[in-house]
Amino acid sequence: MTAMMTYRFVAQTHVGLKRKVNEDAVLALPDHDIWLVSDGMGGHQAGDYASALIVDAVATLPLGLDPAAKMHGVRDRIQGAHRAIQAEAEARGGGTIGATVVALILANGHFVGIWAGDSRIYRLRDGLIELLTCDHSAVAELVLAGKMSWDEAEQHPQSNAITRAVGVGDEVELDKIRGDVAPGDRFLICSDGLTKYATFAMLQEVLSTTPLETVGDRLLQIALNGGGADNISQIIVDVL
């Protein structure tokens, strides 16, 4: 942890109520101040392989990196995972294998978010929730054009059609966002197995009123009560 701030976190992943395999993977590296969620692409073969490979790759980061080296290290390992997933897909006969990825890195009073796909980072500050990432999906363009909200986009028939994923395409383009971190901030990193059931209002209420020890269970219950049709993963990080 940095000398300036400390963090507490909880991390959970659940297969849900409909799937037989959990294709999500979560990674918590508190000694690096890195947290990551990866969601294997539903409907494709070996999504669990892809998400696990991404997590395993980032987990090999050495300790003691400065913030810039840490950020580049995460990106490099995701790019390496992209190539390894493609090689595995070719070895299996050319089918598509892929996964989303979203990573939160905290350092020196700032955060960096890195992502591809529709797994998300939210920040709760002063009781208000903000979506920090922007989905790489077919419906995201409708949201950005002001034609619907993110909550409405989750109910769109094409909500699962992502336009970027690790392992898919010649190159994976990773987006990045930076910002400041303040004591009292609460970050949520999650897969769409949660957000297709949890609206912004629901997330804001739960994150604002629930202690860290039980907040993950409350979020998980929202997804399960909504139907639990997908794998559900979330990491909540509190800035002290």
Residues 139-150 pLDDT 10s: 998 999 999 999
List, for residues 57-116, the tens digit of each pLDDT value. Answer: 999 999 999 999 999 999 999 999 999 999 999 998 888 899 999 999 999 999 999 999
Predicted confidence band at 30 (pLDDT cuts at 50, 70, 90)?
A: very high
Q: Where are the alpha helices (DSSP H) in 45-158?
A: 47-58, 67-91, 140-144, 150-154
35 and 233 Cβ atoms separated by less than 8 Å: no
- Which string of DSSP letters, residue by residue, matches 4-73? S--EEEEEEEE-TTT-SS--EEEEEETTTTEEEEEEBPTTSTTHHHHHHHHHHHHTTPPTT--HHHHHHH
Q: Sketch the domain layout of the chain as residue ranges.
A: 7-239
What confidence score (pLDDT) does residue 44 get?
A: 62
Helices (H) then strands (E): counts for the chain: 7, 10
User: Is 0.85 topped by the overall pTM?
Assistant: yes
The CATH superfamily holding the domain 7-239 is PPM-type phosphatase domain (3.60.40.10)
Using the Cα atoms of residue 106, residue 222, residue 37 and residue 27 in order, give the sign of their dihedral. Answer: positive
Question: 120-125 and 110-116 as β-strands: parallel, antiparallel, unpaired?
Answer: unpaired
238 and 212 Cβ atoms separated by less than 8 Å: yes
Average pLDDT (190-202) is 97
Tell me the β-bridge partners of 106: 111
| Rounded distance between C-alpha atoms, residue 122 and residue 104, angstroms | 10
Half-sphere exposure of 141 (CA within 13 A, CB side): 6
| Rounded distance between C-alpha atoms, residue 157 and residue 174, angstroms | 25
Q: What tokens were used for 28?
A: 């918590």
Predicted confidence band at 158 (pLDDT cuts at 50, 70, 90)?
A: confident
